[in-house]
């Protein structure tokens, strides 16, 4: 089997209501798609989410000539052929594009073998627990509004919720955390995510204020490149730190692991290097007895979650997060009665773009 073509598509739509975290406001959402064709008629799809309005895959066409004629089953070889830091840099949009290509190649490989991706990787469980990331800032959003939002998410059956912090003072955000803990009760997990909004000393202040609310993890308390700041925060709080959604490749995660400050890693397969790099980071994290909670959309993470023993939770994007996203694929994932996500049982990664929905938002 040989690769005969590569192309990419981009869709973008305005959200009904803008949401904000500690650093950014999101008024739009989008989906980038990579499509790889083969001479045996097997088609592979790779996906990436929004990058504040930019098409994450515009660089993919640069590799088209390198890919045509290659055997798509040689995924690791192709990954190393594409990842040339001197030409594309070590991190960023180029690595996102490689991630989409890599995902499409795994889709082809699993389809060629007639198995779902989770079957190809080997499952260690049938379903994976999920949490919902919410608690974004919004115009005129009150504490009561925040509580109702989180109560609703818990009613869907998830193991817990993650909320945004970092846009207000530590005192004000601590009051928001308190309100959410009171709303969801003592038995559900509660994560907080600053998206790198704090300096290390403000992060320590916030951590001290919220320790009493049984916080499962404090994600990205400082900027993702500030490993020294991570260490300073970790030394001053009992709350475990989490990070990695903005980290790239196994080399980047090696540096994060070596900081000894982050026991919960959040690799995002759609940007950090695809399935190939995720599996290598998973193996590295297991060697250090660390926990993985993959960042981002559930479509690819559900298969990785059931196939990787040290994955604790995966993130779930319900319809409330975005009105289009859940329906952008032809196989919308839903939680089962036990609050678990089960991977698709059809060959490949299990998802294709739902053009009936997406075409009205097509950019290219």
Phi, psi of 260, rounded to the nearest 5 degrees: 60, 25
Separation CA 37–CA 268 (nearest Å): 25
Structure tokens at 217: 């993890």
184-221 pLDDT, tens per residue?
A: 999 999 999 999 999 999 999 999 999 999 999 999 99
Rounded to an integer, the average pLDDT of 114-140 is: 96
Residue 17: its pLDDT value, please?
86
- Token pair, residue 318, equals 């319900």
Task: Answer yes or no: same fold for 3-114+355-361 and 120-341.
Answer: no
Asked whether the beta carbons of 20 and 4 are under 8 A apart, the reply is: no
Structure tokens at 263: 């026991």
Say yes or no to pLDDT of 172 above 90.
Answer: yes
pLDDT for position 224: 94
CATH top-level class of 3-114+355-361: alpha beta
Which pLDDT does position 50 carry in this prediction?
Answer: 67
The DSSP secondary-structure symbol of 60 reads G
pLDDT digits (tens, 9 = 90+) for 86-106: 888 889 889 999 999 999 999
Q: Where are the alpha helices (DSSP H) in the chain?
A: 64-67, 75-82, 85-88, 93-113, 117-121, 143-155, 170-184, 200-210, 227-235, 249-258, 269-272, 274-287, 298-307, 355-358
Contact 155, 178 (CB under 8 A): no
Is 120-341 CATH 3.20.20.120? yes
Q: Residue 122 carries which DSSP code?
A: -
Better pLDDT: 26 or 263: 263
Domain boundaries, given as residue ranges, for the chain? 3-114+355-361, 120-341
Q: What is the pTM of this model?
A: 0.95
Q: Looking at the DSSP assignment, which residues form a beta bridge with residue 9?
A: 33
Smallest CA-to-CA distance from 176 within 199, 142, 200 is with 142
Q: Which pLDDT does position 116 carry in this prediction?
A: 98
CB neighbour burial string for 15-42, b if at least 16 within 10 angstroms, e if fewer: beeebbbbeeebeebbbbbbbbbbeeeb
Which pLDDT score, from 0 to 100, does residue 334 have? 84
Rounded to the nearest integer, the mean pLDDT of the chain is 95
Rounded Cα gap, residues 7 and 34, in angstroms: 6
pLDDT in tens, 297-349: 899 999 999 999 999 999 998 888 888 988 899 988 889 988 899 999 999 99
Give the residue with greater pLDDT, 112 vs 54: 112
Give the pLDDT score at 265. Answer: 98
- Classify residue 77 as exposed, middle or buried by CB count within 10 Å of its CB (0-12, 13-18, 19+): exposed
Closest CA to 229 of 265, 199, 257, 274: 199
Confidence tier at 51 by pLDDT (50, 70, 90) = low
pLDDT at 321: 84
């Amino acid at each position: 089997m040989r690769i005969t073509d590569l192309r990419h598509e981009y869709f973008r739509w305005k959200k009904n209501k803008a949401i904000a975290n500690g650093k950014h406001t999101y008024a739009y959402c989008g989906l980038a798609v990579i499509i790889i064709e083969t001479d045996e008629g097997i088609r592979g799809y790779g996906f990436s989410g929004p990058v504040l309005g930019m098409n994450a895959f515009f660089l993919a066409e640069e590799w088209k000539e390198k890919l045509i004629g290659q055997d798509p089953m040689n995924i690791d070889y192709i990954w190393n052929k594409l990842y040339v830091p001197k030409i594309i840099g070590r991190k960023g949009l180029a690595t996102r594009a490689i991630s989409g290509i890599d995902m499409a190649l795994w889709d082809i490989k699993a389809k060629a073998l007639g198995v779902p991706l989770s079957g190809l990787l080997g499952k260690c469980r049938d379903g994976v627990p999920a949490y919902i990331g919410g608690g974004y800032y919004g115009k005129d959003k009150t504490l009561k509004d925040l509580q109702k939002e989180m109560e609703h998410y818990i009613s869907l059956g998830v193991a817990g919720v993650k909320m945004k912090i970092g846009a207000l003072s530590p005192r004000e955000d601590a009051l928001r955390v308190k309100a959410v803990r009171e709303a969801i009760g003592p038995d559900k997990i509660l994560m907080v995510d600053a998206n790198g909004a704090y300096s290390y000393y403000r992060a320590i202040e916030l951590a001290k204020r919220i320790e009493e609310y049984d916080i499962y993890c404090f994600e990205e308390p400082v900027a993702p490149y500030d490993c020294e700041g991570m260490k300073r925060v970790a030394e001053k709080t009992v709350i475990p730190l989490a990070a990695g959604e903005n980290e790239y490749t196994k080399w980047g995660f090696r540096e994060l692991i070596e900081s000894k400050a982050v026991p919960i890693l959040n690799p995002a397969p759609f940007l950090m290097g695809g399935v190939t790099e995720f599996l290598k980071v998973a193996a590295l994290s297991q060697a250090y007895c660390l926990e993985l909670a993959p960042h981002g959309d559930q479509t690819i993470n559900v298969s990785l979650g059931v196939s990787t023993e040290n994955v604790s939770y995966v993130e779930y994007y319900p319809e409330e997060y975005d009105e289009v996203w859940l329906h952008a694929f032809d196989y919308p994932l839903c939680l089962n009665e036990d609050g678990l996500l089960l991977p698709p049982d059809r060959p490949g990664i299990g998802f294709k773009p739902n053009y009936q929905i997406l075409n009205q938002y097509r950019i290219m």
